[in-house]
Amino acid sequence: MCEAGDRADARSSPGESVTADTALLALIEHIYDAASDERLWPSVMEQVAAVMESHAVTFSLLRDAEKPRFSAFAALEYDPRMHAGYVESRTLADSALHFLTAHPQPASGHELQSPGERDPRRHASYDWHWRYSATWHHLAGMTSPAPGFQSGIILHRGRERGDYNSTLTGRFAVILRHIERALEIGFRLGSLAHLERATMELLDRNPQAVFLFDDHGHFTVGNRAAEELIAGADGVGIDDCRLTLHRRPDNNRLQDLIASVLSNELDPTTTRGGLLAAPRPSGKRSYSLLVSPLAPLAFSLGAPRFAGCVVIADPELRPLASDQHLGALYGLTAAEARLAVRIVAGETLRAAATQLGITYATARTTLACIFRKTGTRRQSELVAMILGALPLLTPTATDTGGVNMPPHSGITSP
C-alpha cells in the first residue's frame, strides 16, 4: 500500500506540488496564530486533516501520564452524528489515545493500523470506528511542549485511502515540529498571562498607591489605589503622562528623583531614587513618597519598558481590619472581634461601646477577654500587635463578600 502511494506521489504534477506546499505554508502560519489564541486550535486541526489527506484529527493534552484531556477533534467528510458520538462517548476510549498515554516520549509517525476481524488484539474502539466511521488507519505523534506535559495528535483515515505513505509521514513530522514549537510559545504566553494577572491583582490589593514609569519617565500603569489617589485631586496628578505634585518645590524634587533613576551617567555606587514628603492642599497629613528603580531586563523587545516606580503612602488611611479576620486569627467571638476592630481604628473604648450599642462595663469585660486571647495587656499593645499581624493587602470579594472589581492597568491624564 505504501509503495503504491509512493509511486502515485512520484507521478504528481508540479502544479499539484505547489498547491500542497501552499496549503502547508498556510497551515504553519495558522499554527503560530493559535500560539497566541488557543481558540484557533480546532480550526488548525481541520487544516491538518486536509493537508494530511485524513478524515479526522484528534488533538489531546496529557499531563504526567494521567488520563488524556480532550482538547479538540476536527472531522472532515464525517456524518455529524458520528462526530458528536465520538466526542461525547469514544474520545477517552480511543485506542490510539491509549497508545500515546503509554508512550509519552516525544515521537512522530507511529502508524497505528486497526487489527483484523479475528485479531485477538481487537479493541472496542476499533469496533466503533469500523461500524460508524470507516476509519481504519491512524498516524500518531507526540510532542512535549512543557515539562510534565505531552500533546498527542492522531490522524484518522478511512480504509479506502490506505496507509499513510512516506510523503505524508514526512509531512506530518514537519507539521508536528511546528505544532510543538507553537505549543511551547503558547505555554510561555499563558504562563506570562497568569503571572501578569496575579501581579496586577496583588498590586490592586496593595493599599498604597503604586505608579510604574517607563524609560522616558512616562506613567502608564498604576494600581487601584493610584487611580483613587489621582481621582481625589489632593496634591497628586498626572500631566502629559508625568506624575506631578501640587507644590513646585516638591514637584521639582520628585522630578529630580525620577531623573536619577533614569540616568545612565551616574556612578553605579550612587543611590538612585529616594524619599520625599509632600504636603497636601487639603491640610491633611503629608504624603510619603518612595521613588525606586526596577531591575533592568535583558530583553530589548517589549513596551512599555518599565524603569522604576513611585509608591505613595497616605497616612490618613489606616489598615483595614475585619471582624472575620480577627476572629480567625485570635479565636475572638463576633462581639469581641467587632470591638477589636473599632479599637484598632483608633476609637476610645467608651466611643466604641456607644457605637456598638453596649454599656461601658460590658465593653471593659469584652476587652479583658480580648487581652487574654491575644496575650496583650494594654490597648496600645493590642493595636500594635494587630496592625503588625494584618496582611498588607486589601480583602478580595472572597474575603468580604463584596464585589471584586477587575484589576486596573491604565492611568490617564485628567
Same-domain pairing of 27 and 136? yes
Same-domain pairing of 181 and 259? no
Same-domain pairing of 6 and 84? yes
pLDDT-derived band at 215, boundaries 50, 70, 90: confident
Domain count, the chain: 3
Whether residue 407 is predicted with pLDDT greater than 50 in this model: the reply is: no
Q: Is 74 a domain residue?
A: yes
Same-domain pairing of 253 and 330? no
User: Which pLDDT score, from 0 to 100, does residue 96 have?
Assistant: 53
Whether residue 5 is predicted with pLDDT greater than 60 in this model: the reply is: no
Q: Is 403 a domain residue?
A: no
Cell numbers placing 196: 501578569
- Sequence-separated (6 or more) residues with CB below 8 Å from residue 75: 49, 55, 56, 82, 83, 86
Residue type, 301: L
Tell me the pairing of strands 135-146 and 149-158: antiparallel
Whether residue 134 is predicted with pLDDT greater than 70 in this model: the reply is: no
Q: Is 17 a domain residue?
A: yes
Same-domain pairing of 333 and 262? no
pLDDT digits 0-9 by tens, 9-59: 444 555 555 577 899 999 999 999 999 998 898 899 989 999 998 888 888
User: Which pLDDT score, from 0 to 100, does residue 71 have?
Assistant: 53
Q: Is 24 a domain residue?
A: yes
Contact 236, 276 (CB under 8 A): no
- Residue 183 φ/ψ, nearest 5 degrees: -65, -40
Q: Is 407 a domain residue?
A: no
Out of 193, 218, 250, pick the residue that ends a domain.
Answer: 193
Out of 313, 332, 354, pick the residue that ends a domain.
Answer: 313
pLDDT digits 0-9 by tens, 297-348: 666 667 778 889 999 999 888 666 778 888 888 999 999 999 999 998 888 9
Same-domain pairing of 32 and 66? yes
| Rounded-to-10 torsion of CA 219, 224, 225, 231 | 70
User: Which pLDDT score, from 0 to 100, does residue 367 have?
Assistant: 95
- Sequence-separated (6 or more) residues with CB below 8 Å from residue 351: 342
Q: Is 412 a domain residue?
A: no
Same-domain pairing of 51 and 160? yes
Question: The CATH number of the domain where 250 resides is what?
Answer: 3.30.450
pLDDT-derived band at 130, boundaries 50, 70, 90: low
* Choice between 249 and 110, residue whose per-residue pLDDT is larger: 249
Same-domain pairing of 183 and 128? yes
Whole-angstrom distance, CA of residue 128 vs CA of residue 191:
38
Same-domain pairing of 97 and 38? yes
Out of 164, 193, 222, pick the residue that ends a domain.
Answer: 193
* Mean pLDDT for the chain overall: 77
Question: The CATH number of the domain where 349 resides is what?
Answer: 1.10.10.10
Whole-angstrom distance, CA of residue 342 vs CA of residue 321:
9
Q: Is 413 a domain residue?
A: no
pLDDT-derived band at 144, boundaries 50, 70, 90: confident
Whether residue 243 is predicted with pLDDT greater than 90 in this model: the reply is: yes
pLDDT digits 0-9 by tens, 73-119: 555 444 454 445 555 554 544 555 555 545 545 445 444 444 444 44
Contact 91, 58 (CB under 8 A): yes
Same-domain pairing of 10 and 158? yes
pTM above the 0.75 mark? no
Residue 244 pairs in a beta bridge with: 237
Q: Is 291 a domain residue?
A: yes
User: Which pLDDT score, from 0 to 100, does residue 304 have?
Assistant: 77
Same-domain pairing of 14 and 135? yes
Share of the chain above pLDDT 70, in %: 68
Question: The CATH number of the domain where 145 resides is what?
Answer: 3.30.450.80
Whole-angstrom distance, CA of residue 86 vs CA of residue 75:
10
What domain range is 111 assigned to?
A: 2-193
Same-domain pairing of 174 and 78? yes
